[in-house]
Amino acid sequence: MRTFLKSREAILSAAILALLALIASRFPAFVEPGNLARVFTDTSPLILLALGQTVVILTRCIDLSVAANLALTGMVCAMLNAAYPGVPVAAILILALAMGAVMGMINGIMVWTLNIPPIVVTLGTMTIYRGLIFVLSGGAWVNAHEMSAAFTGFPRADILGLPVLAWIAILVTGLFFIGIARTPLGRAFYAVGGNPHAAVYTGIDVGRTQFMAFTISGMLAGLTGYLWVARYSVAYVDIAGGFELEVVAACVIGGISIAGGAGTILGTLLGALFLGIVKNALPVVDISPFWQLAISGTAIIVAVAFNSRSARSKGRIILKRAEGHA
């Protein structure tokens, strides 16, 4: 019990409750169930991308192309719907998943077979994907009146008081809880990130595992791309610009070690919820949303410093003579 109370998840839970109490002291309507459901729905795209980013970071990699993947997939889905309104939503969902997965595979293949650092690969593909949006759309927007009612209505459809978008985030989170804890691939993510050399001796293919992590991340980015443009009924070239920073922030705040091999899905979920509450509370407490990036950046630095301090405290000095030189 004492170990749990000292865990990142417990500290984050307490921080979220304290934040909600602070906001409620000035604006009680913020913590009403209906508003909290809206906050969770607003945070759902961040949760989906952060879950994919988690498995990538666990393998000592990083995916900076997730927001560009989201934007390109969303634009393609919107343009397809505008040109062929009769295409079923199920077909568009399959297209979004497949397209996102292929873009994730491209990242994974370059990291795996060409041994290029992940930050270099994903910075390059991020730029390419953003450029492709201009090429495909010519810089034009796809607006609400060009989209079909079925296309825009799917993520907003209400089930038991929550939109489909929120239910998808809950479903994917549940799958990640099971997949990380109960499958060989989930354990391989931790093994590769914790000690890649030892992972090789246990028969784990490090490159293949990283490839799978990028594929999962890309698939979720593609899915989120469709859900994003359908929910907001608009697609444009700079959609989700800079969103990759929030995604990485959610993971790091949630306790995912940027060095790989450490962290939990619950921590990522809490990290995303923390940022989602901050983002939704800023206008309520009359702070400009433009401060959001500054707050996210500050939260990353604080979280990394906290992680480094926690990692140091796990070690111990076994020779008292060395203590004076440590």
- In degrees and rounded to multiples of 5, residue 235 shows phi and psi of -135, 130
Q: Mean pLDDT for the chain?
A: 89
pLDDT band at 208 (very low <50, low <70, confident <90, very high): very high
Digit-coded pLDDT (tens) for 69-87? 999 999 999 999 999 999 9
| Half-sphere exposure at residue 324, Cβ-oriented, CA atoms within 13 angstroms | 2
Q: What is the predicted pLDDT for the residue at 286?
A: 72
139: amino acid identity, one letter: G
Pairwise CA distance, residues 31 & 19, whole Å: 11
Q: Is residue 251's pLDDT more than 90?
A: yes
Number of residues that make up the chain: 326
Pairwise CA distance, residues 165 & 224, whole Å: 9
Token pair for 21: 């109490």
Nearest to 277 by CA among 301, 248, 299: 299
For the chain, the structural domain boundaries read 8-305
Name the packing angle between helices 265-284 and 164-182 (round to 10°).
150
> Region 261-275: what's the mean pLDDT?
92
Residues in a beta bridge with 137:
none
C-beta neighbour count of 94 within 10 angstroms: 11
> Region 247-269: what's the mean pLDDT?
90
Cβ atoms of 199 and 188 within 8 Å: the answer is yes
Q: Is the dihedral of CA 211, 212, 216, 222 positive or negative?
A: positive
Q: Is residue 319's pLDDT more than 60?
A: no
Which CATH architecture describes the domain 8-305?
A: Orthogonal Bundle (1.10)
* Range of 14-18, 64-68, 255-259, 300-304 with top mean pLDDT: 64-68
> Region 25-37: what's the mean pLDDT?
90
Cβ atoms of 234 and 146 within 8 Å: the answer is no
4: amino acid identity, one letter: F
Per-residue burial over 225-236, b = 16 or more CB atoms within 10 Å of its CB, e = otherwise = bbbbbbbebbbb
Cβ atoms of 250 and 50 within 8 Å: the answer is yes
Q: Is residue 311's pLDDT more than 70?
A: no
> Region 154-182: what's the mean pLDDT?
95
DSSP string, 51-101: HHHHHHHHTT---TTHHHHHHHHHHHHHHHHHH-TTS-HHHHHHHHHHHHH
Contacts of 97 (CB under 8 A, 6+ apart): 219, 222, 223
Cβ atoms of 107 and 118 within 8 Å: the answer is yes
Pairwise CA distance, residues 168 & 156, whole Å: 11
Q: What is the predicted pLDDT for the residue at 150?
A: 95
Predicted TM-score (pTM) of this structure:
0.91
Digit-coded pLDDT (tens) for 273-283? 998 998 888 77
Instruction: Give the position of tokens 């410093």.
Output: 305
In this predicted model, which residue has the larger pLDDT, 187 or 306?
187
